[in-house]
Structure 1
Amino acid sequence: MSFEPIGAITVVAGLFCLLFGTDSVVVAFVVFCNLGSAAALLLGGANVQPAHLFLLFLMIATLFYRNISTLVLRSFRLPEPGFWLLCLALYGVASSYVLPRLFAGQTYIVPLGTSSHLITSDGVVPLGPVSSNFTQPIYLLGDLVCFSVIAAFGSTRDGIGTLAKALIIYAAANICFGIVDVLTAATGTQEALQFIRNAQYTFHDEETVGTMRRIIGAWPEASAFAGMTLGSCGFTGMLWLCGRKPLVTGPLALISLLFVILSTSSTGLVGAVVLVGLLYTIALLRCSTHRQDRFSAGLVIAGPLVLCVLILLALSVNGAADRVFDYVDTLVLSKGETSSGVQRSAWNAYAWRNFIDSSGLGVGLGTNRTSSLPLAVLSNVGIPGAVFYVLFLASVFGFRRGAPRTYASDIRSAARVACLCLLAGGMIAGPTVDQGLLFYIFAATACAYPERQQIRRAPVSTALIGPAAAIRPRLADPCPRPAQNASLGT
């Protein structure tokens, strides 16, 4: 076991945030999700990321309150999203131990972790237990805790507003890490980022596509950076479309989209097209139902004009159109012919074979590696796990007809768009069932309904040091009905 410097920073930050209150803990937890290349603890071959370590402080800061604890337990009731996620986690944990032993030697896998078998020239081994059968269930249980706690916190009176603030700060921090990555690479000072690139992963921080260096930010590779940036871009872009803090969310969405495109990731480029198409479709629908929705109307009118201007510029500048086509061709059109594309196709072929050879039960959570989320779910946890996962997603994206539009409902809509963006990236290059803590933060935000609660939270520091009476939160009036033009406010 090795306790890393970034782990010490995480613990110190957690203790300080506890003193400043629950809101500070939640904001810090969301921001720490940026550090996808860091390891706070090294346990043999396993990496404990700072955000997973910070989960302890999140639980202390929120579960201390009886009412929030009650909301956490309620999130596991049928048919709440937490119930289906709990079923997926339980089946995943059981499958990680039972299935690799039950079907041992009956098929070949691309191992996600280390195996006792020798790897063949094709990069496969006979099915059997691997080291990631231990780490992946822990990650999935962490996702379950994250989802339930964040959903409960967001369902308090001021919680969902704090979550929106935290996710906006996350988007800004992600952009800052991208800028720092570009600057350190340009100046040859990449060593300055080694303290947050200490995880035992294979890093792709020196790769290029043509003359462009791949941008990885605080992640191990460009596809991970582009995928996570897609989520924050979708969230801030939808908030801008709703007219919420447009002077902040608009620039953040635009810069995030630019980083996704320039990251040289095929996942990011395809996901960017999906994101822009999704936001434009939503804007069209909103224009048909909200007469005074100026941001949606602006996007509907300005979108085609901007696209035409960009096409004319590309055609008028010598060689620009050819460079754009070569860029798209390298990342998307000819991706299947590259060594990376061939390798990922082989992973998916073995994953499908694992699903068939296991009679639809899967080979166990964390056993094999894929390059597509649907195949990762089917090959790891089989049909039972896929059913639980689909029911979880269906309950997250469910909405109530005729519900009044409020600030909270706009935040939920933005979180659903972010989830769709992350899922789009996972469809293209998702290696495991675990989608990461950020996905479950967005999913929990999409399920947070403070309108159903009448809870006002006391500061966590008061609850920790004050008398027992200070722990009980006071009742407050329900969220007030917004004004007619609330959607245009900031």
Structure 2
Amino acid sequence: MPTLLGISFMVVALFLTMQGRYSWVLSLGAAVPIGVVLSVGNNGVPVFYFFAIWVIIALLFSKRGSGEPRKLPGKAFLLAFAAWSVFVTAFSPGMFAGIPVLAPFGGIDSQLANPSALTYTASNIAQVAYMILGVGVLFYLGRARGLSRMFPAGALAGLTLLSSARLASIRFGTPFPNHFFDNSTGVSYVEGAADGTRRFRGIFAEPSELAMASLVAAVFFLASAPNLTGKAKFAALCLAGLATINMIESTATSALASVVVFTAIFSGYHCVRFIFLGGKVKYRTFVLVPLALPVVAIFTPSAIASVIDTVTGKTETASYSARTGSDVFSAGVFMDTWGLGAGLGSNRPASFLPMLLSTVGIVGAVLFITACVVLLRRSWAIHEARPAVWALVALMSAKCIASPNLSDPLIWLLLGVLANFVWSQTPVPQQPKILPPHSVRPSHSQS
């Protein structure tokens, strides 16, 4: 049956659709990453993917053309990834039936203790559907005319403000409609550690997901601020600050690891550019300095002890052992399926790369990574695309540490924005003009 969140958002989506603002509908859905529109038992239809279907149907009935035909960098790899994923998911559960896998519905701890046997499940159908819709969203955004360079700001601001509002309700007792957003009966909401310590998860299912999204939001808004002026710049800095607070409040060790990895990539790029390529260092280079503070802080004696205690304490927990064990176990799934993969939705480890390799195999992983690299490389040359580029780098850094979901809306939104930057600047191939016979004038020698 429809949820109250779903009914409310559908009213807003209908208003936006009537104005032709389809991209805003997608941004609205991405702002509530775990909310569902329809709920049947323990299953539900996520808001983002419901609105992806909504937009596709609206486009079918609209009179909008697809634009001039042109060569689209990365398109072939994306289509090949989608086709390969469907093929593997259709055949691998039958071809390799019975091999041990980590089913997505059992929880990592219990699945490691008692792995499931590979077979066809509803999760296969769901994950393939989400992947196809995600690729569809990417292609729509990539071909959308007049898409704002700040398009990701809508979804990132929404999830940041909602999480901050929930934090305020916990800290100061301000009202917040928890049940309005936590409406999925099939999701386990994690708000406490094994030792009983309360942890903050925002409007996400668990703290690590909040930490990942908050890192992406902080990076995007900080990278966008130097290109903005006035109230827009002030708003971007405020949102970056709120996202940073949410990330710290999550107390997720994966957040610290993600910040370190991203800062290393960011700093490494600029060091190489400055030393070897002769690039100039401007103040804009350091717009992400606040995110580097945890890394700088480890050089102080007191901070060293704190970081060591945090990391050591995490590595000694059952959670760390389970996450590491699930990634190692997924390597076995990769080998058991001869590198082809067990199919989307068949195996769920703790991080993104083991998930790709164990579900769509080496072929699918290479195709997806290549598509991302092509879009990142082409869009880097476009100055306005830099905030989205760094946001995607931050997202992938975090996902490779503690987030295995390919169905994450932020993946498809950020890739779609980069595709729009690249594809909108790809020149339309000029067709040779063939003059009609009567337009050819005879020469004087023939007259």
Q: Same fold (TM over 0.5)?
A: yes
Who is 2:87 aligned against?
Answer: 94
Indicate the SS of the match to 2:113.
Answer: coil
Q: After superposition, what is the alpha-carbon deviation per residue over 1:239-292, rounded to whole angstroms, capped at 9, x for unaligned?
A: 225556533323322332332233111222211223344444566648987769
Indicate the SS of the match to 2:16.
Answer: helix
Indicate whether 1:418 and 2:391 are aligned: yes
Of 22, 43, 46, 2:43 maps to 46
Contact preservation (8 Å) 1:95, 1:381: yes
Code of the residue aligned with 1:441 in structure 2: it is L
Question: Measured at CA, do residues 92 and 32 of structure 1 come closer, stay the same or move farther in structure 2, by a change above 3 Å?
Answer: same
Of 191, 215, 231, 1:230 maps to 215
Q: Structure 1 CA distance, aligned partners of 2:414 and 2:3? A: 28
Of 218, 222, 229, 2:203 maps to 218
Q: After superposition, what is the alpha-carbon deviation per residue over 1:110-144, rounded to whole angstroms, capped at 9, x for unaligned?
A: 111479xxx87813122222221111111101111
Q: Structure 1 CA distance, aligned partners of 2:349 and 2:134? A: 20
Q: Map 1:195-344 onto structure 2 (within 5 A).
A: 195-208=180-193, 213-242=198-227, 245-281=232-268, 285=273, 293-296=282-285, 321=302, 325-326=305-306, 329-330=309-310, 332-344=311-323
Q: After superposition, what is the alpha-carbon deviation per residue over 1:339-390, rounded to whole angstroms, capped at 9, x for unaligned?
A: 1111112211221111111111111111011112111111101122112112
Contact preservation (8 Å) 2:211, 2:255: yes
Who is 2:13 aligned against?
Answer: 14
Indicate the SS of the match to 1:160.
Answer: coil
Q: Structure 2 CA distance, aligned partners of 1:352 and 1:451? A: 40
Of 102, 106, 109, 1:110 maps to 102
Q: Structure 1 CA distance, aligned partners of 2:102 and 2:179? A: 29
Indicate whether 1:439 and 2:411 are aligned: yes
- CA shift, 1:207, in A, is 0.8
Indicate whether 1:377 and 2:377 are aligned: no
Question: Measured at CA, do residues 205 and 303 of structure 1 come closer, stay the same or move farther in structure 2, by a change above 3 Å?
Answer: closer
Code of the residue aligned with 2:16 in structure 1: it is C
Code of the residue aligned with 1:136 in structure 2: it is Q
Of 21, 26, 39, 2:23 maps to 26
Contact preservation (8 Å) 2:189, 2:205: yes
Q: Structure 2 CA distance, aligned partners of 1:279 and 1:242? A: 18
- CA shift, 1:147, in A, is 0.4
Code of the residue aligned with 2:397 in structure 1: it is A
Code of the residue aligned with 2:309 in structure 1: it is D
Question: Measured at CA, do residues 69 and 63 of structure 1 come closer, stay the same or move farther in structure 2, by a change above 3 Å?
Answer: farther
Who is 1:362 aligned against?
Answer: 341
Code of the residue aligned with 2:199 in structure 1: it is R
Question: Measured at CA, do residues 114 and 98 of structure 1 come closer, stay the same or move farther in structure 2, by a change above 3 Å?
Answer: farther
Question: Measured at CA, do residues 276 and 63 of structure 1 come closer, stay the same or move farther in structure 2, by a change above 3 Å?
Answer: farther
Contact preservation (8 Å) 1:412, 1:447: no
Indicate whether 1:137 and 2:128 are aligned: yes
Contact preservation (8 Å) 2:160, 2:217: no
Identity, in percent, stands at 21
Q: After superposition, what is the alpha-carbon deviation per residue over 1:412-446, rounded to whole angstroms, capped at 9, x for unaligned?
A: 221111111111111111334x1512111111111
Q: Structure 2 CA distance, aligned partners of 1:114 and 1:340? A: 15
Q: Structure 2 CA distance, aligned partners of 1:362 and 1:91? A: 10
> Structure 1 residues 387-396 or 167-176, which shifts more?
167-176
Q: Structure 2 CA distance, aligned partners of 1:227 and 1:421? A: 8
Indicate whether 1:83 and 2:76 are aligned: yes
Q: Aligned residue pairs: how many?
A: 420
What TM-score do you get using the length of structure 1 for normalisation?
Answer: 0.75
Contact preservation (8 Å) 1:62, 1:149: no
- CA shift, 1:145, in A, is 0.9
Contact preservation (8 Å) 2:169, 2:175: yes
Question: Measured at CA, do residues 190 and 80 of structure 1 come closer, stay the same or move farther in structure 2, by a change above 3 Å?
Answer: same
Who is 2:147 aligned against?
Answer: 159
Question: Measured at CA, do residues 104 and 63 of structure 1 come closer, stay the same or move farther in structure 2, by a change above 3 Å?
Answer: same
Who is 2:34 aligned against?
Answer: 37
Code of the residue aligned with 2:43 in structure 1: it is A
Question: Measured at CA, do residues 265 and 396 of structure 1 come closer, stay the same or move farther in structure 2, by a change above 3 Å?
Answer: same
- CA shift, 1:220, in A, is 0.5
Question: Measured at CA, do residues 175 and 21 of structure 1 come closer, stay the same or move farther in structure 2, by a change above 3 Å?
Answer: same
Indicate the SS of the match to 1:42.
Answer: strand
State which structure, 1 or 2, has the greater radius of gyration over its C-alpha atoms. 2
- CA shift, 1:64, in A, is 5.7
Who is 1:147 aligned against?
Answer: 138
Contact preservation (8 Å) 1:7, 1:39: yes
Q: Map 1:47-86 onto structure 2 (within 5 A).
A: 47-59=44-56, 68-70=65-67, 80-86=73-79
Question: Measured at CA, do residues 254 and 179 of structure 1 come closer, stay the same or move farther in structure 2, by a change above 3 Å?
Answer: closer
Contact preservation (8 Å) 2:38, 2:45: yes
Contact preservation (8 Å) 1:4, 1:41: yes
Question: Measured at CA, do residues 289 and 31 of structure 1 come closer, stay the same or move farther in structure 2, by a change above 3 Å?
Answer: farther
Code of the residue aligned with 1:428 in structure 2: it is I
Q: Structure 1 CA distance, aligned partners of 2:58 and 2:397? A: 33
What TM-score do you get using the length of structure 2 for normalisation?
Answer: 0.82
Indicate the SS of the match to 1:216.
Answer: coil
Q: After superposition, what is the alpha-carbon deviation per residue over 1:204-251, rounded to whole angstroms, capped at 9, x for unaligned?
A: 343158796322111111111111222222222222255565333233
RMSD: 3.5
Question: Measured at CA, do residues 286 and 40 of structure 1 come closer, stay the same or move farther in structure 2, by a change above 3 Å?
Answer: farther
Question: Measured at CA, do residues 114 and 370 of structure 1 come closer, stay the same or move farther in structure 2, by a change above 3 Å?
Answer: closer
The runs of 5 or more residues in structure 2 that have no matched partner are 429-447
Indicate the SS of the match to 1:261.
Answer: helix
Question: Measured at CA, do residues 12 and 213 of structure 1 come closer, stay the same or move farther in structure 2, by a change above 3 Å?
Answer: same
- CA shift, 1:84, in A, is 1.6
Code of the residue aligned with 2:9 in structure 1: it is T
